[in-house]
C-alpha cells in the first residue's frame, strides 16, 4: 500500500496517491490505521472512525497502475545519479552523504524503449524522457548524453526534460540548453536565501550559477518553471524572492514548496515534495 502520513497543522495529512484518497486526521486516527493494518481490532470507541475508513475503501489494495493505460507509461522517468554539487539544508536524499550511485545505461535504455513502445501503441505523436532528482542529473554527464542520443534515435520524437538545481558547469551549459526541451529548475529566490538553503557542496554560494542558467534558458526561450522551497526561517523573504525572480527571469511558472519538520530522528526538516522527488513520511 502506498501511504503517506505527513504532519499538517495540528494533525496529519493521510495520502494514498494510487487510490487518489487524502484526508486530514488526528493522532488517534493514525494510531487506528496502524492498528487495523497490523490486523488488530479497532478497539473500544473507534468504531465510528473505523467505519469511515471502511466507507472510503481505505484498506483496499492499490489499483494496478498498469490499468491506467499505455498513455500513463509514455514517460520514462530516470533518476540518473545520487551525486550532487549542492548540499541543500533540507535535502531528503542526503546527497553526498554516501558514495554516488549512477543508473546503469541498460536500465535507462530499457525504460526509454518501453515509453516509446507504449507511445507507438497508444498512437501518441511523441514520448517523454524525464531526468529526475535524488541527486543532480546533470552530474551524470556521460549517462545523460548517451541516453538523450539513444532516445532521439527511437521511432517517435522524444521530449527531453529535467529537474535540476541549475548549477551547471560552463562546459556543459551549451549542450544542456541545446538538448533539454524543458526544465524544472530549483531556485529558492533571493541570493541570501538561495545561498543559505542551497549551498554548493564545497560550501560556496550557488545563486550566481543558477541565475546564469536562468539567463541561458531565457535567451533560448526555453519552457521552464522555477520551484522554490520555503522554510520557517525564510518564509518572510518569499515575497521578495518571487519579486526578484519575476524581475530577473522570463519564467512564467513558479511553484512554492514548504519544507516541514517531520517527527523523525533527523534534525533536518523534511519536505512533502522536493525538487528531486517525493518524501515518504510514515
Give the separation between CA 46 and CA 36, rounded to whole angstroms.
Answer: 11
Q: Is 5 helix (H, G, I), strand (E, B) or coil?
A: strand
H/E element, 16: strand 11-16
Residue pointed to by grid coordinates 540518473: 80
Which residue stretch of 13-21, 52-60, 84-92, 118-126 sits at the interface with ligand SF4 (rule: CB under 6 A)? 84-92
Task: Give every CB contact of residue 108 below 8 A, 6+ residues apart in sequence.
Answer: 76, 78, 80, 143, 146, 147, 150
Sign of the alpha-carbon torsion through 154, 157, 163, 166: positive
215 φ/ψ angles, rounded to the nearest 5 degrees: -65, -35
- Of residues 180 through 199, those in contact with ligand SF4 by CB under 6 A are 198
Q: Which of 136, 188, 217, 262 binds ligand SF4 (CB under 6 A)?
A: 136
| 259 belongs to the binding site for ligand SF4 (CB under 6 A) | no
Query: What would you report as the CA-atom Rg of the chain, rounded to the nearest whole angstrom?
Result: 21
Q: Is 261 helix (H, G, I), strand (E, B) or coil?
A: coil
Q: Which of 84, 147, 160, 262 binds ligand SF4 (CB under 6 A)?
A: 84
In the bound state with ligand SF4, the residue whose beta carbon lies nearer, of 50 and 189, is 189
Q: Which of 118, 128, 275, 281 binds ligand SF4 (CB under 6 A)?
A: 275
In the bound state with ligand SF4, the residue whose beta carbon lies nearer, of 25 and 84, is 84
| 272 belongs to the binding site for ligand SF4 (CB under 6 A) | no
Residues composing the chain: 282
Which residue stretch of 54-62, 132-140, 176-184, 258-266 sits at the interface with ligand SF4 (rule: CB under 6 A)? 132-140
Contact code string over 207-246 relative to ligand SF4, x by CB under 6 A: ----------------------------------------
| 165 belongs to the binding site for ligand SF4 (CB under 6 A) | yes
Q: Which of 3, 7, 87, 175 binds ligand SF4 (CB under 6 A)?
A: 87
108, three cell numbers: 535507462
Burial class (CB in 10 A: 0-12, 13-18, 19+), 120: middle
In the bound state with ligand SF4, the residue whose beta carbon lies nearer, of 86 and 228, is 86
H/E element, 255: strand 254-260
Task: Give every CB contact of residue 134 below 8 A, 6+ residues apart in sequence.
Answer: 79, 82, 93, 95, 276, 277
- Give the shortest CB-136-to-ligand SF4 separation in angstroms: 5
Q: Which of 29, 33, 78, 86 binds ligand SF4 (CB under 6 A)?
A: 86
Q: Which of 33, 50, 80, 91 binds ligand SF4 (CB under 6 A)?
A: 91
Binding site for ligand SF4 (CB under 6 A): 84, 86-88, 91, 93, 95, 133, 135-136, 165, 198, 274-276
Amino acid at each position: 500500500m502506498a501511504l503517506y502520513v505527513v504532519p499538517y497543522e495540528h494533525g496529519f495529512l493521510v495520502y494514498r496517491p494510487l487510490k487518489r484518497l487524502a484526508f486530514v486526521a488526528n493522532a488517534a486516527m493514525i494510531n487506528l490505521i496502524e492498528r487495523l493494518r497490523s490486523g488488530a481490532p479497532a478497539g473500544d470507541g473507534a468504531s465510528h472512525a473505523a467505519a469511515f475508513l471502511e466507507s472510503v475503501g481505505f484498506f483496499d489494495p492499490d489499483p494496478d497502475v498498469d490499468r491506467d493505460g499505455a498513455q500513463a507509461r509514455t514517460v520514462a522517468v530516470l533518476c540518473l545519479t545520487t551525486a550532487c554539487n549542492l548540499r541543500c539544508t533540507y535535502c531528503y536524499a542526503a546527497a553526498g552523504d554516501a558514495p554516488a550511485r549512477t543508473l546503469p545505461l541498460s536500465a535507462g535504455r530499457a525504460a526509454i524503449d518501453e515509453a516509446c513502445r507504449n507511445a507507438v501503441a497508444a498512437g501518441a505523436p511523441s514520448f517523454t524522457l524525464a531526468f529526475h532528482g535524488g541527486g543532480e542529473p546533470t552530474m551524470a554527464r556521460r549517462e545523460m548524453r548517451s541516453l538523450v542520443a539513444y532516445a532521439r534515435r527511437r521511432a517517435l520524437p522524444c521530449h527531453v526534460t529535467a529537474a535540476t538545481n541549475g548549477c551547471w558547469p560552463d562546459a556543459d551549459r551549451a549542450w544542456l540548453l541545446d538538448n533539454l526541451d524543458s526544465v524544472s529548475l530549483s531556485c529558492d529566490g533571493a541570493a541570501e536565501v538561495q545561498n543559505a538553503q542551497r549551498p554548493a557542496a564545497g560550501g560556496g554560494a550557488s545563486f550566481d550559477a543558477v541565475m546564469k542558467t536562468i539567463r541561458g534558458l531565457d535567451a533560448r526561450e526555453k519552457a521552464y518553471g522555477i520551484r522554490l522551497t520555503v522554510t520557517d526561517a525564510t518564509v518572510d523573504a518569499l515575497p521578495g524572492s518571487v519579486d526578484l525572480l519575476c524581475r530577473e527571469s522570463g519564467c512564467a511558472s513558479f511553484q512554492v514548496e514548504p519544507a516541514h519538520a517531520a517527527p523523525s530522528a533527523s534534525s533536518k526538516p523534511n519536505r512533502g515534495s522536493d525538487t528531486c522527488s517525493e518524501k515518504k513520511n510514515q
